[in-house]
Structure 1
Amino acid sequence: MDLVLGSLGLDCGTRCCSLDSTEAKSKDTMAAFQLLFPLLASCVAASSPPSRHLPPCQVVQMDVFCSNLSLRSAPVNLPRGVQMLDLSRNQVQNLTRETLAYHTGFHHLNLHSNKIHFIQPGLFKDMTDLKVLDLSRNHLNVFSLSKINIGPLTAVESLDLSSNGLYTGMSDYFLADSPSLANLSLNSNSITKIAQNTFSGALSLTKISLHNNVILEIEDGAFDSLDRLTELDLSKNSITCITDFNLCNLKVLNLSKNSMELFQSTRSTDLYKLLRLDLSENKMLYFPLLPRKNMLEYLDVSRNQLQSINVTGNPEKNTNVFLNDLRYLDMSYNQLKSIPESFFYCMGSLEVLNVSNNCIGSFSITDERLLQTVKIINLSYNSLQSLTFGENALQSLEKLFLQGNDLTTLDHQIFQRLPSIKHLQLQQNNLEICALDQNHRGPPDCVSFSSIPNLQFLYLSENNLRTLPANAFANTPLKLLDLSLNPGLDMDKDSLSGLEYSLVHLLLRENNISSLNTDLSSLRSLKDVDLSTNHLTILPMWIKESSIESLNLQNNNLVTLEYSTMLALEHSLKTLYMGSNPLSCCSNLGFLHMVQHSAVVVPDIETVTCVHEEYSEPVNIEKVTQEMCHRSGIHNYIIVVVVIALLVMILLGLLVRCCHTRKRKHNRSFSA
Structure 2
Amino acid sequence: MAAFQLLFPLLVTCVAASARAPRRLPACQVVQSDAFCSDLSLRSAPLDLPPGVQTLDLSRNHVQNLTRETLAFHSGLRRLNLRSNEIHFIQPGLFTDMADLKVLDLSRNHLHVLALSKVSLGPLTSVETLDLSSNQLYTGMTDYFLADSPSLEVLSLNGNSITKIAQSAFGGSPRLKKIGLHNNVILEIEGGAFDSLSNLTELDLSKNSITCITDFNLCNLKVLNLSKNSVELFQSVTSTDHYRLLSLDLSENKMSSFPLLPRNNRLEHLDVSRNRLQSVNDTGTPDEKTFLYHLRYLDMSYNHLKSLPECFFHCMGSLEVLNVSNNCISSFSIADERFLRTVKTINLGYNSLRSLTFGENTLQSLEELVLRGNDLATLDHGVFRQLPSIKHLQLRQNNLEICSSDRERQDAPGCVSFSSVPTLEILDLSDNQLRTLPADAFAGSPLKSLDLSLNPGLDMDRDSLLGLERSLVHLLLRENNISSLSTDLSSLTSLKHIDLSTNQLTAVPAWNRDSSIESLNLQNNHLVTLEYSTMLALEHSLKTLYMGSNPLSCCSNLDLLQMVQNSAVVVPDIETATCVHEEYSEPVNIEKVTWDMCHTSGVRYYAIAVAVIALVVVVASVLLVKCLQARKPQHRSFNA
After TM superposition, is the score higher than 0.5? Answer: yes
Matched letter for residue 406 of structure 2: D
Aligned twin of 2:106: 135
Q: Cα 1:634–1:57, aligned 2, differ >3 Å: closer, same or farther?
A: closer
Report the Cα offset of residue 642 of structure 1: 5.9
Is 1:172–2:143 an aligned residue pair?
yes
Distance (whole Å) between structure 1 residues aligned to residue 613 and residue 369 of structure 2: 71
Q: Deviations over 1:135-167 (max 9, x none)?
A: 111111101111121221111111111111110
Structure with bigger gyration radius = 1
Q: Counterparts in 2 of 1:574-589, with a 5 A limit? A: 574-589=543-558
Distance (whole Å) between structure 1 residues aligned to residue 513 and residue 71 of structure 2: 76
Q: Counterparts in 2 of 1:238-249, with a 5 A limit? A: 238-249=209-220
CA contact (8 A) 1:321 1:343 kept: no
Report the Cα offset of residue 219 of structure 1: 0.6
CA contact (8 A) 1:331 1:355 kept: yes
Q: Deviations over 1:229-274 (max 9, x none)?
A: 1111000000011111111111100000101111111111111110
Distance (whole Å) between structure 2 residues aligned to residue 142 and residue 236 of structure 1: 25
Report the Cα offset of residue 353 of structure 1: 0.3
Distance (whole Å) between structure 1 residues aligned to residue 397 and residue 441 of structure 2: 19
Aligned twin of 2:394: 425
Aligned twin of 2:50: 79
Matched letter for residue 516 of structure 2: S
Report the Cα offset of residue 641 of structure 1: 5.1
Matched letter for residue 338 of structure 1: S
SS in 1 for 2:144: helix
Distance (whole Å) between structure 1 residues aligned to residue 583 and residue 34 of structure 2: 71
Aligned twin of 2:278: 307
Of the three residues 89, 92, 104, the one matched with 1:118 is 89
Report the Cα offset of residue 643 of structure 1: 6.0
Q: Counterparts in 2 of 1:29-48, with a 5 A limit? A: none
Aligned twin of 1:414: 383
Q: Cα 1:126–1:493, aligned 2, differ >3 Å: closer, same or farther?
A: same
Report the Cα offset of residue 650 of structure 1: 9.5
Q: Deviations over 1:92-143 (max 9, x none)?
A: 1111222222232221111111111111111112222211111111111101
Structure 2 stretches of 5 or more lacking a match? 1-24, 630-640
Of the three residues 539, 564, 588, the one matched with 1:619 is 588
Aligned twin of 2:632: none
Aligned twin of 1:508: 477
Aligned twin of 2:424: 455
Distance (whole Å) between structure 2 residues aligned to residue 217 and residue 317 of structure 1: 33
Distance (whole Å) between structure 2 residues aligned to residue 187 and residue 71 of structure 1: 26
Distance (whole Å) between structure 1 residues aligned to residue 523 and residue 133 of structure 2: 51
Q: Cα 1:92–1:298, aligned 2, differ >3 Å: closer, same or farther?
A: same
**In angstroms, what is the RMSD of aligned CA positions?**
2.4
Aligned twin of 1:106: 77
CA contact (8 A) 1:522 1:544 kept: no
Q: Cα 1:100–1:556, aligned 2, differ >3 Å: closer, same or farther?
A: same
Q: Cα 1:442–1:119, aligned 2, differ >3 Å: closer, same or farther?
A: same
CA contact (8 A) 2:494 2:515 kept: no
Report the Cα offset of residue 436 of structure 1: 2.6
Q: Counterparts in 2 of 1:561-580, with a 5 A limit? A: 561-580=530-549
Q: Deviations over 1:189-247 (max 9, x none)?
A: 01000011111111111111100000000011111111111111000000011111111
Matched letter for residue 280 of structure 1: S
Aligned twin of 1:607: 576
Is 1:222–2:218 an aligned residue pair?
no
Report the Cα offset of residue 628 of structure 1: 2.3
Of the three residues 63, 66, 72, the one matched with 1:92 is 63
Aligned twin of 2:346: 377
Distance (whole Å) between structure 1 residues aligned to residue 597 and residue 78 of structure 2: 74
CA contact (8 A) 1:262 1:284 kept: yes
Aligned twin of 1:200: 171
Distance (whole Å) between structure 2 residues aligned to residue 490 and residue 55 of structure 1: 69
Distance (whole Å) between structure 2 residues aligned to residue 648 and residue 55 of structure 1: 87
Distance (whole Å) between structure 2 residues aligned to residue 284 and residue 657 of structure 1: 109
Distance (whole Å) between structure 2 residues aligned to residue 203 and residue 619 of structure 1: 74
Matched letter for residue 415 of structure 2: C
SS in 2 for 1:522: coil
Q: Counterparts in 2 of 1:52-63, with a 5 A limit? A: 56-63=27-34
Identity %: 76
Of the three residues 245, 259, 267, the one matched with 1:274 is 245
Distance (whole Å) between structure 2 residues aligned to residue 323 and residue 120 of structure 1: 52
CA contact (8 A) 2:302 2:327 kept: yes
Is 1:363–2:332 an aligned residue pair?
yes
Report the Cα offset of residue 422 of structure 1: 0.9
SS in 1 for 2:490: helix
Higher helix share: 1
Report the Cα offset of residue 91 of structure 1: 1.4
Q: Counterparts in 2 of 1:523-562, with a 5 A limit? A: 523-562=492-531
Report the Cα offset of residue 459 of structure 1: 0.5
CA contact (8 A) 1:297 1:327 kept: yes
Distance (whole Å) between structure 2 residues aligned to residue 340 and residue 360 of structure 1: 10
Report the Cα offset of residue 622 of structure 1: 2.1
SS in 1 for 2:507: coil
Aligned twin of 1:32: none
Is 1:344–2:313 an aligned residue pair?
yes
Distance (whole Å) between structure 1 residues aligned to residue 145 and residue 467 of structure 2: 70
Distance (whole Å) between structure 1 residues aligned to residue 590 and residue 53 of structure 2: 64
CA contact (8 A) 1:310 1:319 kept: no
Report the Cα offset of residue 627 of structure 1: 2.3
Report the Cα offset of residue 439 of structure 1: 2.6
CA contact (8 A) 2:381 2:411 kept: no
Q: Deviations over 1:313-369 (max 9, x none)?
A: x98999422100000000111111111111100000000000111111111111111
Report the Cα offset of residue 551 of structure 1: 0.7
Distance (whole Å) between structure 2 residues aligned to residue 457 and residue 577 of structure 1: 24
Report the Cα offset of residue 382 of structure 1: 1.0
Report the Cα offset of residue 658 of structure 1: 12
Q: Deviations over 1:264-316 (max 9, x none)?
A: 111111111100000001111111111111100000001111111128xx989
SS in 2 for 1:172: helix
SS in 2 for 1:208: strand
Report the Cα offset of residue 562 of structure 1: 1.8
Q: Cα 1:412–1:96, aligned 2, differ >3 Å: closer, same or farther?
A: same
Aligned twin of 2:264: 293
Q: Deviations over 1:369-412 (max 9, x none)?
A: 11010001111111111111111110101111111111111111
Report the Cα offset of residue 644 of structure 1: 6.0
Matched letter for residue 329 of structure 1: L
Distance (whole Å) between structure 2 residues aligned to residue 402 and residue 436 of structure 1: 24
Q: Deviations over 1:422-453 (max 9, x none)?
A: 11110100001112333322242111111111
Report the Cα offset of residue 653 of structure 1: 11
Is 1:631–2:600 an aligned residue pair?
yes
CA contact (8 A) 1:450 1:473 kept: yes
Distance (whole Å) between structure 1 residues aligned to residue 92 and residue 233 of structure 2: 44
SS in 1 for 2:168: coil
Of the three residues 437, 442, 460, the one matched with 1:473 is 442
Structure 1 window deviating more from structure 2 (548-557 vs 143-152): it is: 143-152
SS in 1 for 2:333: strand
Report the Cα offset of residue 636 of structure 1: 3.1
Distance (whole Å) between structure 2 residues aligned to residue 649 and residue 270 of structure 1: 115
CA contact (8 A) 1:310 1:318 kept: no
